[in-house]
């Protein structure tokens, strides 16, 4: 899915801000409406038994970012994974991913990175969501909010020396960017994140153009039948990684030939159980191999 052009900015009404400078928003209850009707028979539901799980607020210079976190109950010094959502925000699927990771021994926290621009859970149409919210989010803002999330985690039971990140679709691209941004990051896992794209004011650099700046290795999971991410882009990225610095050379991209975009999204028709489970296991192994 691609962001709409910046031309939409001039067509939108002024945003209604609260006194802290943020739009009133929170983590979503249930599944995002814009994602379509959830497929009940495949949607995974992970309980919170033995976990501390729920909404938290992450301090930022201009307000507080709502987030969802899950962690083993009563534990501190935990390896930390930041979870970056799709364009649909921190809805039930992302919250469930956090609980799955917490059951693996991680402090998992998913910040609502669209908090300043709008509430994705209120939208029913993807084009409108893209134009009014997603297309107005600067990469620099996201990287700053991810830094704030890492700082919050370090002060709330996380181990500052064991920080990782994973993200899906829109969030998959942000994983690559954050691996080029934060020198303290141990590893990332990017699920079908955009690799190429024309630079813009809000998105000044593509993932491929940042390969030489990678500071942590990234595991990419991509679908061979992804209509939005050409295999030519994946091939170019692999070549760039092989020619890059140590963190780039240590990165890896796995392609699942028969999988479409969003093949891990178990609440959508795009879900592919076998590929999703294999990629999930590989991701957990990846984090362990990189000290998380």
List of residues 6+ apart from 208 with CB closer than 8 A:
195, 196, 233, 236, 237, 240
Q: Does the annotation count 139 as an active-site position?
A: no
Q: Which residue in the list 96, 145, 226, 266 is annotated as catalytic?
A: 226
Q: Does the annotation count 261 as an active-site position?
A: yes
Q: Does the annotation count 181 as an active-site position?
A: no
109 bridge partner residues: 69, 82
Tokens 């994983």 belong to 175
* Residue 287 to residue 187: CA distance in whole angstroms: 7
Burial 171-204 (b: 16+ CB within 10 A, else e): bbbbbbbbbbbbeebbbbbbbbbbbebeeeebbe
Q: Which residue in the list 96, 261, 264, 266 is annotated as catalytic?
A: 261
Q: Which residue in the list 169, 181, 233, 264 is annotated as catalytic?
A: 169
* Residue 233 to residue 231: CA distance in whole angstroms: 5
DSSP letter for 77, please. S
The secondary element (H helix, E strand) that includes residue 144 is: helix 139-155
Distances (CA, A) of 111 to 25, 40, 100, 116, 268: 12, 25, 16, 12, 22
Burial 15-24 (b: 16+ CB within 10 A, else e): eeeeeeebbe
Residues with a catalytic annotation lie at: 169, 226, 261
């Amino acid at each position: 899915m691609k962001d709409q052009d910046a031309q939409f900015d001039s067509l939108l009404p002024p945003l209604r801000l609260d006194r802290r400078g943020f739009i009133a928003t929170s983590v979503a209850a249930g599944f995002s409406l814009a994602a379509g009707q959830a497929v009940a028979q495949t949607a995974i539901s992970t309980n919170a038994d033995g976990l501390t799980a729920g909404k938290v607020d992450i301090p930022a210079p201009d307000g507080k970012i709502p987030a969802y976190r899950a962690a083993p109950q009563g534990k501190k010094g935990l390896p930390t994974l930041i979870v970056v959502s799709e364009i649909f925000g921190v809805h039930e699927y992302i919250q469930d991913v956090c609980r799955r990771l917490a059951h693996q021994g991680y402090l998992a926290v998913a910040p609502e990175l669209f908090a300043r621009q709008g509430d994705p859970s209120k939208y029913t149409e993807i084009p409108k969501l893209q134009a009014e919210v997603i297309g107005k989010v600067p990469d620099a803002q996201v990287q700053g909010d991810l830094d704030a999330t890492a700082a919050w985690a370090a002060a709330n039971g996380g181990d500052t020396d064991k920080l990782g990140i994973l993200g899906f679709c829109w969030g998959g691209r942000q994983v690559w960017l954050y691996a080029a941004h934060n020198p303290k990051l141990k590893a990332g896992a990017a699920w079908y994140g955009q690799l190429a794209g024309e630079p813009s004011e809000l998105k000044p650099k593509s993932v491929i153009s940042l390969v030489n700046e990678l500071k942590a290795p990234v595991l990419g999971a991509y679908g061979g039948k992804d209509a939005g991410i050409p295999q030519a882009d994946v091939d170019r990225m692999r070549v760039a990684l092989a020619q890059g610095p140590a963190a780039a050379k240590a990165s890896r991209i796995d392609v699942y030939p028969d999988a479409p975009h969003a093949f891990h999204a178990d609440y959508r028709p795009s879900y592919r159980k076998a590929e999703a489970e294999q990629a999930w296991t590989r991701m957990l192994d990846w984090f362990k191999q990189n000290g998380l």
